[in-house]
Amino acid sequence: MPSTCKFILNKPNAVYYSGESISGQAIVNITFVQDVRNVRIFVLGEAKIKWCEHAGRHTTYFKSHETYIDNGTNLRIENVLQPGTYTYTFDIALPPLCPTSCECKYGYIRYVLSLKLKGPFGLDNFVFKKPLTVLQKVDLNLHRDYKLNISVDDSYTPYTSGKIFYNVQIPFSAYAPGQTVKYTFHINNQSKTDVDGYTLEFSQKFLCIAKSTDLLLPKKKEFTDENIILRITFIEPCKRLSSRLWKGQFIIPSVPPSEVNCNFIRVEYLMKIIAHVSGHKDFPISIPIVIGTIPLQESLVRQRPATLAQDRVMALKSNASSTTDLAIASSPTASTTSTPTGSSDIVKRPRSPSRTLKPQSGMTPSPSELSIASFDSLLEFYDNDQPSFEEGVRSGSPFIDNDADENHRIDDFRPLYPIYKQTIV
């Protein structure tokens, strides 16, 4: 029976933010006598890029490497370990600017917690590893431009039969995983050709930068790993000499943020709507989308479920003595062919002076202490839930590090990213 090691972490999901401490215990079960001189527990965080190009019989390798943390605890033990269970504690602080974990076809940013039992002459008797997820916070609220509505106009002329005008709009240019992106797609078809429908795509693109290992002719090159994460086709025509408006939505899946803060890996996201013109080449319209780990506050307010808001309004009405009226105005969206949706807004009238809600830790504010001006603060107080974490979507073929020892290599790891499910309509 082989020896084993179990890592018990202060965060069971093994997700940490830059600057936090990774602490816990490593419980090692030794099944036979071991001559151990040193026990090392450490965290290695690194970015690694590698690919090769073939030209006839010549192969050019491109590599990049960067280390963010290689720190831990060394326990010098000049002893023979008898079969049994041994417990080692550790507490390792992450640097404040660690890039976010991510994996792509040509490389990764990865953090691994390891325990090594070294025998005589520095040989590794045992190596145990546990991959971690490390996140760099990306607060979308720090960028005002992300809160602006995005509108893209374009046109296409199929031969000489007149123009087709397109317009795509989304309410924000930045979202967090789990959030719903609502869009409108308008076609004004002034041509004599039908538009058969459209396809919605959401794609992820990794840009990997590496240098060649050729000493005579070193050069830097960029490789792209692009994957379509979401694709939906709508066969709903817009006839010639007519117009049509579609309203739809899709959910941002579990993906790394756009800002991973690495010199060799960049991540970009693109929303694309492709119009299918009968008998002609498809016409695409693209909108870049920024992904963060902390969503825009405005997007949380707009996407808050109506039923939740109604319950809280009723609680305020029944418990508070206020001269201010509250009402919920339910305003259904215009009918849509693709995905009908509904929305509800909180209507405030009239507005009276109030004080800011400042709930104490561990206490729920009494509705009788609230007025209408602090109602948004109440919603924010109740909705300030921590996100859940889900494995990132797979981006094509995983990177295989052939330079590492295959007996201790981690081949198929998917980091976990924050998901804000409460914002889904």
Residues 101 and 121 in one domain: yes
Does some domain include residue 360?
no
> Going by C-beta distance under 8 Å and a sequence separation of 6 or more, which residues neighbour residue 40?
72, 73, 74, 75, 114, 115, 116, 118
Q: What is the per-residue pLDDT for 54?
A: 82
For residues 143 and 358, what is the distance between their CA atoms, to the nearest angstrom? 26
Does some domain include residue 39?
yes
Residues 202 and 173 in one domain: yes
User: Which pair of tokens denotes residue 220?
Assistant: 């830097």
Structural domain count, the chain: 2
Does some domain include residue 357?
no
Residues 61 and 133 in one domain: yes
Residues 187 and 77 in one domain: no
Residues 169 and 57 in one domain: no
Does some domain include residue 365?
no
Does some domain include residue 192?
yes
For residues 261 and 101, what is the distance between their CA atoms, to the nearest angstrom? 10
pLDDT digit of tens for each residue in the chain (425 aa)?
788 999 999 999 999 999 999 999 999 999 988 888 889 999 999 999 998 888 788 888 899 999 999 999 888 776 888 899 999 999 999 999 999 999 999 999 999 999 999 887 666 778 999 999 999 999 999 999 999 999 999 999 987 779 999 999 999 999 999 999 999 999 999 999 999 999 999 999 999 999 988 877 678 889 899 999 999 999 999 999 999 999 999 999 999 999 888 999 999 999 999 999 988 999 999 999 999 999 999 998 654 554 444 555 454 454 444 433 333 333 333 333 333 333 333 333 333 333 333 444 444 444 444 344 344 443 443 345 579 999 999 766 778 787 777 777 888 899 999 999 754 34
CA distances for 70 relative to 217, 265, 386, 402, angstroms: 32, 20, 30, 21
CB-based contact 28:4 (threshold 8 Å): yes
For residues 407 and 317, what is the distance between their CA atoms, to the nearest angstrom? 65
For residues 313 and 310, what is the distance between their CA atoms, to the nearest angstrom? 5
Q: Would you give the DSSP letter of residue 294?
A: B
Residues 109 and 182 in one domain: no
Q: φ and ψ at 121, to 5 degrees?
A: 65, 20
Residues 179 and 44 in one domain: no
CB-based contact 197:276 (threshold 8 Å): yes
Name residue 94's beta-bridge partners.
none
Going by their DSSP bridges, the two strands 325-330 and 388-391 should be labelled as unpaired
Residues 178 and 203 in one domain: yes
Name residue 206's beta-bridge partners.
225
Q: Is 298 helix (H, G, I), strand (E, B) or coil?
A: helix
Q: φ and ψ at 311, to 5 degrees?
A: -60, -40
Spell 132-149 as b/e; 16+ CB within 10 A means b. bbbbbebebeeeeebbee
Going by their DSSP bridges, the two strands 107-118 and 102-104 should be labelled as antiparallel
Q: What is the per-residue pLDDT for 385?
A: 55
Q: Which domain holds residue 275?
A: 140-306
Does some domain include residue 410?
no
Going by their DSSP bridges, the two strands 174-175 and 290-291 should be labelled as parallel
Among 275, 306, 337, the domain-final residue is 306
The phi-psi region of residue 68 (left if phi > 0; otherwise alpha if psi is between -120 and 50; otherwise beta) is: alpha
Residues 101 and 223 in one domain: no
Residues 179 and 131 in one domain: no
Does some domain include residue 311?
no
For residues 415 and 45, what is the distance between their CA atoms, to the nearest angstrom? 13
For residues 160 and 177, what is the distance between their CA atoms, to the nearest angstrom? 43
Residues 145 and 275 in one domain: yes
Among 306, 341, 372, the domain-final residue is 306
Q: φ and ψ at 39, to 5 degrees?
A: -120, 125
Going by their DSSP bridges, the two strands 58-81 and 124-135 should be labelled as unpaired
Residues 43 and 174 in one domain: no
Going by their DSSP bridges, the two strands 124-135 and 15-17 should be labelled as parallel
Does some domain include residue 131?
yes
What is the enclosing helix (H) or strand (E) of 86? Answer: strand 84-93
Residue 75 sits in a domain whose CATH number is 2.60.40.640
User: Which pair of tokens denotes residue 280?
Assistant: 């002609």
Among 271, 289, 306, the domain-final residue is 306
Q: Is 345 helix (H, G, I), strand (E, B) or coil?
A: strand
Q: Is 379 helix (H, G, I), strand (E, B) or coil?
A: helix
**Angle subtended by helix axes 375-382 and 306-319, to nearest 10:** 120
What is the enclosing helix (H) or strand (E) of 424? Answer: none
